[in-house]
Each structure stands twice: as C-alpha cells, then as structure tokens.
Amino acid sequence: MRLEKRPTPSKVWSWATPVLAVLATMVAGGLLFGALGTDPVLAIRTIFWEPLFGEFAFYYRGQLLVKAGPLILIAIGLSLGFRAGIWNIGAEGQYIMGAICGAAVGLAFYPLEIRWLIFPLIVISGALGGFLWAMIPGILRTRFNTNEILVSLLLVYVAEQILAWMALGPLRNPEGAGFPGSRNLAQYSATSNQELIAGWGLHWGVVAALIAVIFAYILLSRHILGLNIRLAGEAPRAARFAGVNPERLVLLCLGISGALAGLAGLFEVTGPSAQIGIDFNVGYGFTAIIVAFLGRLHPIGVLMAGLLMALTYIGGEAAQASLGLPAAAIQAFQGMLLFFLLAFDVLTNFRVKFGALGAA
C-alpha cells in the first residue's frame, strides 16, 4: 500500500473529510469513554443529542451561541492567514490581550455610566490589543524572517503571565477583599455585554462573529485582496509575479486575525466571563484552529464548524455533570477531531494504491 499524489486536489474528499472526521471521532471517542467505564452510546448521545433535543435543550441552545461566538470570530481571522500560508498559532494570546486592554479601558472610566462612549471605546481597545500583540510575530517575520508559528505560540505564555499580573495587581477589584480578579464588567452597565434577546445567548460578540463571516465571504469571493490571499497560499511564486507584496500580506493577515481574536476576548470578558481573572482563558484560541480546519478555511464552513465545536463544549460539560466523565477525556475527544481531520485530509491530495511499485 502506498500513497500516490493526485494531479489536482479532490473536491469530493475535500468536503467529505470533515464528515468522516466527525464520524471517526464519535467511534474513537466512544471507545475511549467505554474504556473509562461509561456507556459509549450514552456518552455520545449526551454530547451531541441532549443539548439540542433533551430535557434542558432550551437552556443549552442559548449556551450554544455563547460558546460558538468567540470560536467563530477567532477562526475566521485564522482561516484568512492559513489560506495565505501564514500560521498564527498564538490567537489565544491575542484573545487574552484583547480582553485585558478592553477591560482596562472600561475600568478606567468606572463608575461613569456613559455607555454610548465607553462601550465603543472598549471594543476598539480590545481589537487594538489583539492587533498589536499579533504585530509582534508579524514584524519579526517580515524584518528578521523569524518563524511566526513559534513566536506567536510562545507569546501565549507571556500573555498568560500578564493576565495573572493584571488579575493580582493593576486590575484587581479594590473592593474584592484581596481576592484576585477585576470588578464584574457585566454588572457595570457601561461595559456590560448582556444578551440582546433573553434566553437566546445572542450578544454583541455573536453579532460580530456573524458580521465577520459575511465580510470574510465577500472578501474571499469578490475582492482583489481575497484573490491575493488565495493566490499566496496556493501558488506563492505566481503571487510574487502578480505583484503581491508578501511582507504586507503577512502583516495584514496577522493584524486581522489578531484584531478578531482581541474582539473575541473583549466580548467574552464583558459578558459570559464577566471579569479579568487568572483563569479567564479557556483555550478558545487553540480550539479555533480546529474550527478553522474543520470548516475547510471557508467562512460558511467555519460558521458550521464553530457551532459543532460549541456543541462538544456544552455536551462535554453535560457529560461531566451527568456521567462523571473527567474533563481530560472531553479535551481528548475534541483533540481527536483535529487528528482525524488531518488524517483524512491526506486523501484530498493523495490516493491509496495497492500492489508493487512497478505495477500498472
């Protein structure tokens, strides 16, 4: 058995891969849950069925948008860079810095209640925080030819240390009896990002994610910049002959992905999370990488993949509560999805051949 490169990538396998990856993840995940002493069918049902059609489906459906919003917003930015061959692996750090910058600006105005001024200002600050953090690997890549994968990834750990410092120092709630963490931003009306429709989980972060999907689709399908992004990823040499500036494209893609990750952090810290704390980040920046690839780097695909991944978060929490599954098992289950996605993706560019090398 050997792999033979296809003349052109298979469109059938390209779109079949996510479906097969999800099915394979269910099977492998079921075996994992069975090995832990849990009924595998019941575990898979709890993760994928109960949040949508179970007894508490209405509550879970609201949470679906809460979880999907930041995943989609971050994954849209990542997918643009990935299409151009620019690998931003540090969106988690940009997500953290966006939350810190937005929260810091909002808390600087406390207790003023000028929402029409403060809320737009913290949104801009959140996007700017993520943008500037992404510019570090961008500038190092364009000026010194460093590897943006390593730089952006290592900056995540720097951002986590800054987060802990802020929670324990400059942004700590002076009325919090010495406990780490900032004031509750969701209870401060000038910075509150509450639900727009009660019970639906729809807040401004979800709206921003939907807008990002629409703009990314238009950019990739109707704008010259989208053509340059696709050309740089698929045929770098042709892109240079077409006049595409690679340094400018690196900065642009990293800047967009950083700004969107920063927005995701800002909307999370002013809504569901509500405060800057040492455990604020929950891995959305890393999970969004799975979402981007599961969605085939296409805006509509990212939207669907984000909802699916959010379902595994919600269903995983339900399985932990009702079945006693450990959190590590749920994280391994989510990681299997990327593993099988990459495994099946090989068949997009290669076909399996059997027989001797010299056989016809």
pLDDT confidence of residue 360: 44
Residues of the chain with pLDDT under 70: 199, 357-360
pLDDT confidence of residue 358: 56
pLDDT confidence of residue 119: 95
pLDDT confidence of residue 233: 85
**pTM to 2 decimals?**
0.92
Half-sphere exposure in the Cβ direction for 327 (13 Å, CA): 2
Ramachandran bin of 173, using left for φ above 0, alpha for ψ from -120 to 50, beta for the remaining angles: beta
Q: Burial letters for 268-294: b for 16+ Cβ neighbours within 10 Å, e otherwise? A: bbbbbbbbbbeebbeebbbbbbbbbbb
Helix (H, G, I), strand (E, B) or coil at 121: helix
What are 153-196's pLDDT values in tens digits? Answer: 999 999 999 999 999 999 999 988 888 999 999 888 899 988 88
Q: Which residues are within 8 A (CB) of 269 and not within 5 positions of it... i.e. 6 or more apart? A: 99, 102, 103, 185, 275, 276, 280
In terms of Cβ atoms closer than 10 Å to its own Cβ (0-12, 13-18, 19+), residue 241 is exposed
What gap in Å lies between CA 88 and CA 133, rounded to an integer? 11
Check whether domain 57-303 has CATH 1.20.120, yes or no: no
pLDDT confidence of residue 357: 65
pLDDT confidence of residue 56: 75
pLDDT confidence of residue 264: 97
What are 100-144's pLDDT values in tens digits? Answer: 999 999 999 998 989 999 999 999 999 999 999 999 999 999 999
